[in-house]
Chain A
Amino acid sequence: MIRGVAGAAIYFRTMAVFAAVWWLIAAWTGNAALLPSPLLVAKAIGELALDLELFKHAGISLARMLASLALAILLAVPLGILMGRVRIADDLLDPVVEILRPISGIAWIPLALFMFGIGNALPVFIMTYAAFFPIVLGTISGVRGVDRRLVNAARTMGVSHRAIVTTVVMPAAAPALLVAIRLGAASAWTAVVAAELIGAPSGLGYAIEWYRELLMTPQVMAFIAMVGVLGFLFDAALRSLSRRFTPWAPATA
């Protein structure tokens, strides 16, 4: 990761070398539709940002991302706590999770196109599905990783089952839970482009495909860069949230 001024200097040096090599290959290719120069891409980013098109599609994708992540958390966290705490719930539900998990969210796209048609529901469904499994599995292992002595101590002191979950299990499992949410978010963000590329009339994936068909490669690259920047910022935001809400968590990951 980048740390301090020296880190930033190295970062920019590396990216400058990358841009220079790219520029040379672009000059050698001499075909802006095939490989535009970094300058052309920067210009495209500027233009798309100025007429707000870049932010419009980014905002739509981001809104879908937030909705999906919220939905996945609402479904997966309670389920994960239940499966992590209650043996019979785990015995019953784990097979279903393990049967569905290998079927990637993207493989649901054709069937989901029938179920939801083209629009907001399709990408939100696909992204929720993609985020669900990392969150549910992370919650289960987080809940199971809670020190048994803490739970037993609370039980000995006559704390109710519900209070044990809210005051002992949840705080202890929170760091693992936030890591799981980050993994879920990364998984959902991977699916967003595929879902929008095929099944949405808006968003970053749609924009990438739109400009590809027009052979406007600088614009295609501008939107691809936006996918990367937003993915990075979203993860950075979740990481700083983790640090703020679970300062007791180990500083790894």
Chain B
Amino acid sequence: MNSAAESRIARAVAVPVILIGVWYAWTTLHPTPRTPTPGRVAAAAVDMIASGDLPLGVLQSVGRVFGGFALAAAIAIPLGLAMGTRRAIERNVDPLVESFRPIAAIAILPLAILWLGTGTAAAVTIVAYAAFFPIVINTVAGVKRVDSTLLRAAATMGVDRLTILRTVIVPGALPSIGVGLRIALGVAWTAIIAAELAVGAKAGGGGSGGVGQMMFVFYAYSIELNRIVVCMIAVGLVALLLDRMLRALNAWLMPWTH
């Protein structure tokens, strides 16, 4: 390893290390029984992982995210392809998409609870709603960005519509669809945490599980700040992993974009 790389790494860890040092120093100088300290958070993390609570909660949330995400993709990609290829469909459907897009998924949560209860069905619906918009918008944009020369060439050669869709439009729109899916997965993860938190907060902590609800239980019932911080770190790590996963998937599916 050369010294330039070493100094880059040194710079990269400098501020995080200083911040943790300040956190440690501050909590050592002003000790209170509840304030999270680096040591307590680490101990809580070990405890929560060993007991299986944290992995279970994370798995539950991730499972819901994938369920809702798959549902959203199954609806949004075909709809986006239809809107992108047929002007009439786009003109008629776009008002609905644009009208609902500014309504945050979490605002729909009370209705989802009313119609579907406080369990997984409501959570998956919220996730699907949140993930729907980035996918549909990026699919439409992707279809429109397909080189019209290719479309005309295919049409001239007498290729039928379905084959054009499969061999020209979908591969051409794929990079944009991939971006939409990546954004959607990030939004979906945020939405599930919000949904689980709000369900925990407003449904009396009734067991629907997930990391979000774990956090709320630690806040409202057992008052364990260290565990809340552990959950936050887990939320961040999962978000990072999901993003990396979709990036890798996009690169693997579309080597020509890299």
Q: Which residue of A lies closest to B91 (CB)?
A: A10
Instruction: Known contacts A95-B15, A104-B190; decide if A235 and B92 are in contact (CB<8 Å).
Output: no
Which residues on the B side are within 8 Å of A194 (C-beta)? 104, 106, 194, 197-198
A220 pairs with B110, CB closer than 8 A: yes
Q: Does B63 contact A (CB under 8 A)?
A: no
A93 pairs with B235, CB closer than 8 A: no
How many Å from the CB of B191 to the closest CB on chain A? 8
Tell me which residues from 5 to 50 in chain B have a Cβ below 8 Å from any Cβ of chain A: 8, 11-16, 19
Q: Does A163 contact B (CB under 8 A)?
A: no
Encoded as 1 (CB less than 8 Å from any B CB) or 0, chain A from 164 to 197 comes to 0000000000000000000000000111111001
A-B contacts at CB below 8 angstroms, number: 155
B15 pairs with A107, CB closer than 8 A: no
Bound CA–CA A2/B93 (angstroms): 12
Q: Name the one of A13, A197, A220, A225 contacting B198, with C-beta atoms under 8 angstroms.
A: A197
Instruction: Known contacts A227-B103, A231-B103; decide if A96 and B19 are in contact (CB<8 Å).
Output: yes
Q: Name the one of A1, A114, A205, A235 contacting B219, with C-beta atoms under 8 angstroms.
A: A114
Encoded as 1 (CB less than 8 Å from any B CB) or 0, chain A from 135 to 150 comes to 0000000000000000
How many Å from the CB of A188 to the closest CB on chain B? 10
B232 pairs with A103, CB closer than 8 A: yes
A111 pairs with B236, CB closer than 8 A: no
Which residues on the A side are within 8 Å of B91 (C-beta)? 7, 10
B114 pairs with A217, CB closer than 8 A: yes
Q: Does B113 contact A (CB under 8 A)?
A: yes
Which residues on the B side are within 8 Å of A114 (C-beta)? 219, 225
Interface segment, B52-60, B94-102, B160-168?
Answer: B94-102
Tell me which residues from 204 to 258 in chain B have a Cβ below 8 Å from any Cβ of chain A: 212, 215-216, 218-219, 225, 228-229, 231-233, 235-237, 239-240, 243
B232 pairs with A208, CB closer than 8 A: no
Instruction: Known contacts A10-B91, A102-B240, A110-B218; decide if A224 and B198 are in contact (CB<8 Å).
Output: no
A14 pairs with B198, CB closer than 8 A: no
Bound CA–CA A157/B240 (angstroms): 45
B92 pairs with A10, CB closer than 8 A: yes
A2 pairs with B95, CB closer than 8 A: yes
Which residues on the A side are within 8 Å of B93 (C-beta)? 14
A107 pairs with B12, CB closer than 8 A: no
A212 pairs with B110, CB closer than 8 A: yes
Tell me which residues from 177 to 219 in chain B have a Cβ below 8 Å from any Cβ of chain A: 189-190, 193-194, 197-198, 201-202, 212, 215-216, 218-219
Q: Which residue of B lies closest to A224 (CB)?
A: B107
Q: Does B159 contact A (CB under 8 A)?
A: no
Which residues on the B side are within 8 Å of A229 (C-beta)? 102
Which residues on the B side are within 8 Å of A221 (C-beta)? 111
How many Å from the CB of B216 to the closest CB on chain A? 6
Which residues on the A side are within 8 Å of B235 (C-beta)? 102-104, 107
How many Å from the CB of B74 to the closest CB on chain A? 21
B95 pairs with A15, CB closer than 8 A: yes
How many Å from the CB of A238 to the closest CB on chain B? 12
How many Å from the CB of A176 to the closest CB on chain B? 18
How many Å from the CB of A209 to the closest CB on chain B? 6
Which residues on the A side are within 8 Å of B98 (C-beta)? 1-2, 232
Q: Does A91 contact B (CB under 8 A)?
A: yes
B102 pairs with A96, CB closer than 8 A: no
A92 pairs with B11, CB closer than 8 A: yes
A107 pairs with B11, CB closer than 8 A: no
Q: Which residue of A lies closest to B227 (CB)?
A: A110
Q: Name the one of A205, A228, A230 contacting B100, with C-beta atoms under 8 angstroms.
A: A228
Which residues on the B side are within 8 Å of A192 (C-beta)? 104
Q: Does B151 contact A (CB under 8 A)?
A: no
Q: Does A251 contact B (CB under 8 A)?
A: no
Which residues on the B side are within 8 Å of A205 (C-beta)? 106-107
Bound CA–CA A15/B92 (angstroms): 9
> Which residues of B are in contact with A by a Cβ distance under 8 Å?
8, 11-16, 19, 91-96, 98-100, 102-111, 113-115, 189-190, 193-194, 197-198, 201-202, 212, 215-216, 218-219, 225, 228-229, 231-233, 235-237, 239-240, 243
